[in-house]
Amino acid sequence: MTSVPVGMEPSRSRRSRVGADLTGFNVIMQFEQDDILLLDGATGTELDRRGVDVSLPLWSARAMLEAPEVLLDVHRSYLDAGAGAICTNTFRTHERSLAKAGLVDHAERLTREAVSIACAARDEVNQDALVLGSVAPLEDCYSPGRAADVETCRHEHAQLIRYLVDGGVDLVLVETMCSAHEALAAASAAEDLTPGNWAISFCLAPGDPGVLLDGTLLADLLPELGQARFIGINCVAAPMMTDQVKHLHSLLHGNIPIAAYGNVGHPDDERGWVNTDAIDPDRYAEHSMQWVEAGASIIGGCCGTTPETTRAMSFAVT
């Protein structure tokens, strides 16, 4: 059993930021970049770049078992590059995912370790940064037909969210949701366990903006998401993001902050993701400024992005 290495335990003197008002970045979050919150970039693909085995089914979760120091350094790198928030490496720490590797009983331990490692990096580099607890789809992010039924989704997401909240995350981030019923189930679980202290982000289909991969219109879900701290779009190709943000902004009318974090590369059934250099960091940063102009106030990177991407975005918003 691999524990958090010595020196990686989070500081206990730091006050919890749970309940922080994400609509007032400058005052509440002490984040001053023209009201733009910069999220980190990809964790799984960055671990892959650094030589960590991220093969399925464990994907990035294997880092807690085999390479916690590398994971710590990934978080540090994003913070050093200017990120004001980092996401926990919990994209695949649901019991369902771990069971596929014979680790069903390790969900709580690995989730808590992921939170501890992220908090340790935060405490070391920038104590004002936020730690967001990542909650991913139970199955594949691009296969909405594989989503479990509503009650199963709610139960399994609630379990992970409870571990994240107990571990001390600042905000729960339900992300990369491609199925309407799973998204609403996860949002319901989050609202029950950490009322008003969660956000949600969707993986949308190419083509007409505002359509989930299961065909549901995003507009039809928004009335159920009024308690979210922000609503976002992620794991959409960076050049395709601007139209999606414009559409979401037209639906929200500025009432809820919008997040946008796109990807570089493409999914792979065996490796999980294939990194490419199709969009260099400076070009990605240019795209992200278009997202801001379209209405996003929270920007970052998804699969395939790197700390250099974050650094380029940080320069762009200052």
pLDDT at residue 265, as a whole number = 64
Look at residue 35 in the predicted model and tell me its pLDDT.
80
pLDDT given at position 137:
97
* Amino acid present at 262: G
266-268 and 272-274 strand pairing: antiparallel
pLDDT at 9 over 80: no
Residue 199: closest CA among 134, 251, 262, 295: 134
How large a percentage of the chain has pLDDT more than 90? 82
pLDDT tens column, 175-225: 999 999 999 999 999 999 999 999 999 999 999 999 999 999 999 999 999
Q: Which domains does the chain have, with CATH numbers?
A: 30-317 (3.20.20.330)
DSSP letter at 269 equals T
Whether residue 202 contacts residue 183, with contact meaning beta carbons closer than 8 Å, is answered with yes
145-183 tens-digit pLDDT: 999 999 999 999 999 999 999 999 999 999 999 999 999
Token pair in block for residue 115 = 């939170």
Give the mean pLDDT of the chain: 88
Interval 41-51 mean pLDDT: 96
Q: What is the mean pLDDT of residues 30-58?
A: 85
Say whether pLDDT at 311 is over 70: yes
**Residue 141: predicted pLDDT:** 87
Alpha-carbon distance of 237 to 248, in angstroms, equals 16
Q: What is the pLDDT of residue 16?
A: 32
Contact between 70 and 44 under an 8 Å Cβ cutoff? The reply is no
**pLDDT band for position 292 (50/70/90)?**
very high
Q: In degrees to the nearest 10, what's the CA dihedral of 111, 90, 291, 121?
A: 60
Question: 305 forms bridges with which residues in the sheet?
Answer: none
Neighbours of 282 (CB within 10 A): 14
- Looking at residue 188, what is its pLDDT? 98
* Residue 8: pLDDT band with limits 50, 70, 90: very low
- 150-167 and 180-193 helices, crossing angle to 10°: 40
The whole-number average pLDDT for the span 302-306 is: 94
Beta partners for residue 233, in sequence order:
202, 260
**pLDDT tens figures, 105-123:** 999 999 999 999 999 999 9
